[in-house]
Amino acid sequence: MNRDEDLEDKLISLFQWLHAHPEIGFEEKNTTARLRDELEQAGIEVLDSGLPTGLIARITGTRPGKVIGLRCDIDALPIREESGLPYSSQNEGRMHACGHDSHATIMLGAALLLNRHRQTMRGTVKIIFQPAEEVIGGAQRVMATGLLDDLNMILGVHSYPGFPAGTLGLAEGSVMASVDRFAITIHGMGTHAAEPQRGIDPIVVQAALVQSLQTIVSRSVSPFSHSVVSVTHVESGSTWNVIPETAVLEGTVRTLEPADRTFIENKIRKMTQLVAEAYDAEADVTWIPGPAAVVNDSALYHVAAKAAKQMGFKVGKPEDTMGGEDFSCYLERCPGLFIRVGTGGGYPSHHPRFTVDPSALYPAAWFFSGLTLDLQDA
């Protein structure tokens, strides 16, 4: 690796500043201002996106080539930090507990490195500092600017506490799940608890439905594909001697395969209808689709794995997760690769003691800039 101590120090101090000043989704004003400053100081063009928070920067080479996106997210979580770091959060109840401070630092570093190659570079690189990944909706806003309509491919970054600094997590195919939400309302008929025959008890329907939904994954989906149906919120009634009118339940569905996603939605709708009907009740299902599964492109995976090894990184396969990521929103436009950067630390993300090993930052920035150049020449 060509070590550049000045840049390394600069990135570490940027990271520590971002870590100390976490802002949650759609409130990333100071974060955006700081990143804009860094880009403009380096003479990197910041596009006029109209985004209230978040940025899209562009580096244009001197020769024709592909349009490659480098995407990071910049928002923090509503968590009270307990890491004990000297650069801990100064914003009460806010914390970079998912490493988005490191993601922004890595992609800023990659931008600075690529900017040095501007005179000889092919194509265009668009660096996306996306707001509001945790609250969902940030990626859609960024896509809605239209500034990424010409992307040919995109690389995403995420910190990974399961590997130490110096290891990259790469995998092809589905690596993060789709994240959908459902809400079901059961309409019964209220009555006195002592005279159930005069009403329709929605709680009995609700209980039957919770049990039935559990059989979708265990009985109807292949054990070789991965999916989850979790009922997480049930509510009905308000006292002990009244059979209520309605019952509601809510939950989430996670899948790695698009076919399972559609199948499970349809199955939930059908089961709800038929179970309600069996008890003479009525029910309606609200389906709230979230991000699709993140599916890594195989060709990009092979180029990245080769580049990582050539650049002296260890490469590992991250543990499978049913967590989601709105990086998939970009993948509806073009192929991409979501790359995990080993950041050590010992605590999982979203934990109040989550930390990122700052020594991972510069090498990761160097990797992303190198891979981008490789992809332009491939």
Interface residues with Ni ion (CB under 5 A) are 98
Least distance in angstroms from the C-beta of 98 to Ni ion: 4
Least distance in angstroms from the C-beta of 179 to Ni ion: 13
Residues in a beta bridge with 77: 95
In 138-229, which ranges are continuous DSSP H helix? 138-144, 202-215
- Which one-letter DSSP state was computed for residue 172? -
Least distance in angstroms from the C-beta of 286 to Ni ion: 27
* Distance in angstroms (rounded) separating the CA atoms of residues 216 and 332: 27
Which lies closer to Ni ion via its Cβ, residue 59 or residue 70?
70
* Distance in angstroms (rounded) separating the CA atoms of residues 62 and 108: 21
* Distance in angstroms (rounded) separating the CA atoms of residues 214 and 37: 51
Q: Which residue is nearest to Ni ion, using beta carbons?
A: 98
Which lies closer to Ni ion via its Cβ, residue 184 or residue 293?
293
Least distance in angstroms from the C-beta of 129 to Ni ion: 14
Which lies closer to Ni ion via its Cβ, residue 98 or residue 243?
98
Least distance in angstroms from the C-beta of 158 to Ni ion: 6
Which lies closer to Ni ion via its Cβ, residue 18 or residue 98?
98
Residue 123: strand, helix, or coil: strand
Which lies closer to Ni ion via its Cβ, residue 98 or residue 322?
98
The string over 157-183, giving b where at least 16 C-beta atoms fall within 10 Å of a residue's C-beta and e elsewhere, is bbbbbebbbbbbbbbbebbbbbbbebe
Least distance in angstroms from the C-beta of 103 to Ni ion: 8
Task: Tell the residue number behind the tokens 């931008």, with chain if given.
Answer: 111
Which lies closer to Ni ion via its Cβ, residue 261 or residue 340?
340
- Could you tell me if 37 and 58 are in contact, meaning their C-beta atoms sit under 8 angstroms apart? no
Which lies closer to Ni ion via its Cβ, residue 98 or residue 371?
98
Strand 173-176 and strand 294-296: the pairing is antiparallel
Least distance in angstroms from the C-beta of 222 to Ni ion: 29
Which lies closer to Ni ion via its Cβ, residue 76 or residue 213?
76
Least distance in angstroms from the C-beta of 240 to Ni ion: 44
Q: How far is CA 32 from CA 37, 55, 124, 159, in A?
A: 9, 7, 22, 20
Strands (DSSP E) found in the chain: 45-46, 55-60, 63-73, 122-130, 153-160, 167-169, 173-176, 178-187, 191-192, 227-236, 242-243, 246-255, 282-288, 294-296, 314-316, 336-342
